[in-house]
Amino acid sequence: MTESKPEIRSGLDGVYFMESAICKVDGANGRLYYYGYPIDELAAESNFEEVSYLLMNGRLPNLSELSSFRERMRAARAIPGEVIDVITELSERSTPMHILSTAVDMIGSLKREGPDRKSTYIEIISELSSVVAAIGSISATGRYTRPEDSLGHIENFLYMLKGERPNKESVEIMERMFILHAEHSSNASTFSAIVTASTLSDIYSSTVSAINTLKGPLHGGADEMALRMLNDMRGKDIARYVDNTIALGGRIMGFGHRVYKSYDPRATIIKGILESVQPKASAEVRELTKTVLSLEAVMRDKVSSKGIWPNVDLFTGPVYRYLDILPELFTPIFAASRAPGWCSHIQEYWKSNKLLRPTVFYTGEVGKRYVPIEKRQGE
């Protein structure tokens, strides 16, 4: 008897695999909530440490809780010397995302998870930022800047990245960028972290899975690719560029989303940041802004009726260029800011863990007979 073909949801589109209270992505209305709090309120009012606390604890902290959480994050900032050596060794021979994955795996292999997993989550959130800053600083200058205890998380991140104390505006912008990227429900990298965690592997290994999944250009890698595409479009007829790209089966990076079929609310906020910095922006950033706004208008005419709108990655690159950050660091920064989201989902999944193991519908043959190699017919 032949099996009847089950419904196959390509890309697991629309498949629910668990209940979660962490994040609501309202794709139809373009809204996003972390534990019920609208993203625009968090981006305007909160800070990355507080949002990390929220994601790890399900509620906002009071003053003393936030202070001790910050203290624990601060205590985890330093990176082991061996890891700095490896980052230095790889910096001229590899890419920042590969180095990040290697460094995080190495940090995990140098220590064992303690019985209090909560501490390990906090360490990972802190360490990822330090590693990304070290990768950026070592590849740019060959030097590692040690963390500075007197600084908050984002200020310290920029300090370690640039080797000098950042100005207030850079800290405020980066704080908002980290909050906006901190969590996004069961996206590909988070799902990847959960798959690894579901085998009861450890938190570092789960985070490494997430980092390597984030890297792809259809996911977190889109921020760098979008910036490169904007640079490539400069001075060209953008409508024709879009038509040619789509005709060749390509994608316009920074547009479209599996869940949002409306304007990504994070893109709205990042676009606002980009517009607000224009008076002080360099010629490069002003030119990028002109190009990105023209592209947005072209895409609105051509594909918004199909539910393809700007996503979080479209305006991120020009904002990071305003902060003088190189494109190859965009996705590593995305990873550093997404760390609390990954950890929050791993923690939630482990509360009622079940090995994740979907099923494929087999369409091959069965019952073939093995033929020794010397008796097989050639092509």
Catalytic residues: 219, 257, 313
Closest CA to 77 of 122, 115, 142: 122
38's enclosing H/E stretch is strand 37-38
* Closest residue to ligand COA: CB criterion: 256
Task: Report the residue from 53, 255, 309, 349 that binds ligand COA according to the rule CB under 6 A.
Answer: 255
Say whether residue 15 binds ligand COA (CB under 6 A).
Answer: no
Compute the least distance from the CB of residue 218 to ligand COA, in Å: 4
55 vs 3, 18, 263, 344, CA distance in Å? 44, 17, 24, 6
What is the per-residue binding string for ligand COA in 177-216, x denoting contact by CB under 6 A? ----------------------------------------
> Of 72-91, which residues contact ligand COA (CB under 6 A)?
none
Does 332 interact with ligand COA (rule: CB under 6 A)?
Answer: no
Binding region for ligand COA (CB under 6 A) out of 145-153, 175-183, 247-255, 361-369: 247-255
**Is position 330 an interface residue for ligand COA (rule: CB under 6 A)?**
no
Helix (H) or strand (E) holding 160: helix 153-162
Q: Is 155 in the site for ligand COA (CB under 6 A)?
A: no
Closer of 72 and 251 to ligand COA (Cβ): 251
Kindly state the smallest distance separating residue 55's Cβ from ligand COA, in Å: 19
230 binds ligand COA (CB under 6 A): no
Q: Please provide the DSSP assignment of 79-118 as one string.
A: PPHHHHHHHHHHTTTS-HHHHHHHHHHHHHHHS---S-HH
Q: Side chain identity at 235, as an amino acid letter?
A: G
Degrees to nearest 5, angle at CA 366 with 361 and 372? 135
CA angle 313, 59, 114 (to 5 degrees): 85
How far is C-alpha 337 from the geometric centre of its chain's CA atoms? 7
Site residues, ligand COA (CB under 6 A): 11, 218, 222, 246, 251-258, 306, 308, 311-313
